[in-house]
Amino acid sequence: MVFSHGAAHEAALSLVIVRPRKRQRRAMTRHYSAFSLFKEGLRGQKGWQQAWRSPQPKPRYDILIIGGGGHGLATAYYLARAHNIRNVAVIEKGWLGGGNTGRNTTVVRSNYFFPESTALYDLALRLYETLGRDINYNIMLSQRGIITLAHSEAEMEMAARTVNAMQINGTDAELFDAKDVRRVLPLLNVSPQARYPVFGGVWQGRAGTARHDAVAWGYARAADRLGVDIIQSCEVEEFLVEGGRCRGVRTSRGEIRAERTGMVVAGHSSHLAAKAGFRLPITSYALQACVSEPIKPVLDTVVLSPGTGTYASQSDKGELVIGGALDRVPSYGQRGNLPVLEDVVSGLLEMFPSFRQLRLMRQWAGIVDVTPDSSPILGESPLPGLFLNCGWGTGGFKAIPAGGTLLAHLLATGTHHDISRPFDLDRFARGRLIDEAAGSGIAH
């Protein structure tokens, strides 16, 4: 091996430095595969190309997207891929995925109650199933299933109703009895003396987890390759309104104009909406999560207990990833308070007494955008030319491929896709809420 000898290695390096033209001719590695990993191993990992550029903002684009979370980046990707609109910029005030996309507990599922919701979330899950191949980026989708527990006879009846609704709406669902639950959760406290005894639950086998950063980075890299400008450290401060239409934005790095603008800023939606002159049916809350120290595999499915209000899964690194309810106080402080964390952890210990000895490694929070019916808002805003993708609240990671597809459709055509139509802002004035808070008792 040439590189096993230090001197030879240095000589090769200095050759490269002395003769830069030769180096430029060397092909950069852009495609990710087992073969390119092997090839780069032999080349000393020097040919990898940056995953995306960091361009200066241009003064004008066809379409602007505010917010470089999963939904914003996916929107840019589908505009370029599905609609061939490539003169597009994504403007992010911080770093890609630094909002909720990089803070969530990565559960993906489509176990909702109403047909409109199943159409939306199952589109997302189906797109997730092939996303790794589509964007040539391993998003580490793991369809390990989710079990939503039922803690009483009455909850078992509701579970049966949910399973029926899901099956009629065309997604996979199974009603589990207590024996089935014990099979998938051997460490669960199933004692009849438990504060929340286990009667069974709703199982969705296609649900699971995916790697949150990989989803953001994969979409960013794929969109960049198609010509989209991704601009980080650039905050949108005002909207440019001319003739009653949104004509672009004023940012911390100057004015950027566009015919259509998409606003995809999750918990900050009301703040920007106020600058555009309207209010939204959204309240911002901190949602917390935490992880334990890493341990050997003990939990190979996602579990959610409506009784304790806690849900958990185990990451590939071995950490238990734990989440629960919203903080009680409307907030933009990205921290989370102790009372809810205490509830979440005591819920976990109620479910899994053997986790009592584990240490918590990290705790954090994201600011989520909660609507009265726990369903998202997709559609044109009251300011013409400005389009919304928000209101995902505690559960929009699972929806990223669908949210991106549908906002791209709205921005490209100016009209709704059939799947986004019911989620328009007008549902609040028309009284046609899609109440998943009541329908599926959603937590996340």
Partner 1 sequence: MQLFPCPFCGPRSESEFHFGGDAGNHRPEGFRAVTDGEWSNYLHARNNPRGAANEIWMHMTCGEVFRMERDTVHHRVARSFAPGEGDGHDGMAH
Q: Which is nearer to partner 1, 87 or 337 (CB)?
A: 337
Q: Show Cβ contacts of residue 50 under 8 Å, excluding neighbours closer than 6 positions.
A: none
The span from the CA of 116 to the CA of 102, in Å, is 27
Indicate which of ligand FAD, partner 1, none lies near residue 329 (CB less than 5 to 8 Å, by partner kind).
partner 1
For the CB of residue 396, give the shortest distance to ligand FAD in the complex, in Å: 2
Read off the tokens for 279: 């209010």
Strand stretches in 27-124, DSSP E: 60-66, 88-91, 107-108
DSSP string, 108-166: E----SSHHHHHHHHHHHHHHHHHHHHHTS----B---EEEEE-SHHHHHHHHHHHHHH
Q: Which is nearer to partner 1, 143 or 337 (CB)?
A: 337
Determine which residue in the list 85, 88, 107, 146 makes contact with ligand FAD, applying CB under 6 A: 107
Sequence letter at residue 66 = I
Contact string 270-289 vs ligand FAD (x = CB under 6 A): --x--------------xxx
Q: What is the CA radius of gyration of the chain?
A: 24
Taking CA atoms, 402 is separated from 343, 373, 407, in Å, by: 32, 19, 8
Q: Which is nearer to partner 1, 55 or 333 (CB)?
A: 333
Q: Which is nearer to ligand FAD, 71 or 81 (CB)?
A: 71
Q: Which is nearer to partner 1, 82 or 329 (CB)?
A: 329
**Kind of pairing between the strands at 302-305 and 146-150:** parallel
The span from the CA of 359 to the CA of 431, in Å, is 47
For the CB of residue 43, give the shortest distance to partner 1 in the complex, in Å: 48
Q: State the residue for tokens 């198609």.
A: 226
Read off the tokens for 296: 């050997």
Determine which residue in the list 258, 303, 368, 383 makes contact with ligand FAD, applying CB under 6 A: 368
Q: Residue 286, CB half-sphere, CA atoms under 13 Å: how many?
A: 19
Determine which residue in the list 81, 103, 151, 247 makes contact with ligand FAD, applying CB under 6 A: 103
β-strand partners of 380:
387
Region 284-303 residues binding partner 1, contact defined as CB under 8 A: 284
Determine which residue in the list 283, 315, 346, 363 makes contact with partner 1, applying CB under 8 A: 283
For the CB of residue 151, give the shortest distance to partner 1 in the complex, in Å: 23
Task: Kindly determine how many residues on this chain lie close enough to bind partner 1 according to the rule CB under 8 A.
Answer: 24
> Could you say whether residue 71 binds ligand FAD (CB under 6 A)?
yes
* 355: DSSP letter: G
Determine which residue in the list 428, 435, 437, 441 makes contact with partner 1, applying CB under 8 A: 428
For the CB of residue 299, give the shortest distance to partner 1 in the complex, in Å: 29
> Could you say whether residue 366 binds ligand FAD (CB under 6 A)?
yes
Choices 24-32, 110-118, 266-274, 377-385 (CB under 6 A): range interacting with ligand FAD: 266-274
The span from the CA of 238 to the CA of 255, in Å, is 9
Region 308-347 residues binding partner 1, contact defined as CB under 8 A: 328-333, 337-339
* 103: DSSP letter: T
> Could you say whether residue 396 binds ligand FAD (CB under 6 A)?
yes
> Could you say whether residue 270 binds partner 1 (CB under 8 A)?
yes
DSSP string, 18-35: H-HHHHHHSPPB-S-SHH
Alpha helices in 193-237 (DSSP H): 212-225
> Could you say whether residue 281 binds partner 1 (CB under 8 A)?
yes
For the CB of residue 234, give the shortest distance to ligand FAD in the complex, in Å: 7
Q: Which is nearer to ligand FAD, 25 or 317 (CB)?
A: 317
Determine which residue in the list 208, 248, 262, 323 makes contact with ligand FAD, applying CB under 6 A: 323
The span from the CA of 200 to the CA of 159, in Å, is 8
- Nearest residue to ligand FAD by CB is 69
The span from the CA of 242 to the CA of 198, in Å, is 59
For the CB of residue 304, give the shortest distance to ligand FAD in the complex, in Å: 10
Tally Cβ neighbours within 10 Å of residue 404. Answer: 30
For the CB of residue 161, give the shortest distance to ligand FAD in the complex, in Å: 23
Q: Which is nearer to ligand FAD, 29 or 394 (CB)?
A: 394
Task: Kindly determine how many residues on this chain lie close enough to bind ligand FAD according to the rule CB under 6 A.
Answer: 40
Coil vs helix vs strand at 398: coil
Indicate which of ligand FAD, partner 1, none lies near residue 204 (CB less than 5 to 8 Å, by partner kind).
none
Q: Show Cβ contacts of residue 43 under 8 Å, excluding neighbours closer than 6 positions.
A: none
For the CB of residue 3, give the shortest distance to ligand FAD in the complex, in Å: 40
Sequence letter at residue 157 = E
Determine which residue in the list 52, 64, 70, 427 makes contact with ligand FAD, applying CB under 6 A: 70
Region 86-145 residues binding partner 1, contact defined as CB under 8 A: none
The helix (run of H) or strand (run of E) holding residue 271 is helix 269-276
Summarize as ranges the residues that interact with partner 1 (CB under 8 A). Answer: 268, 270-271, 274, 279-284, 328-333, 337-339, 372, 428-431
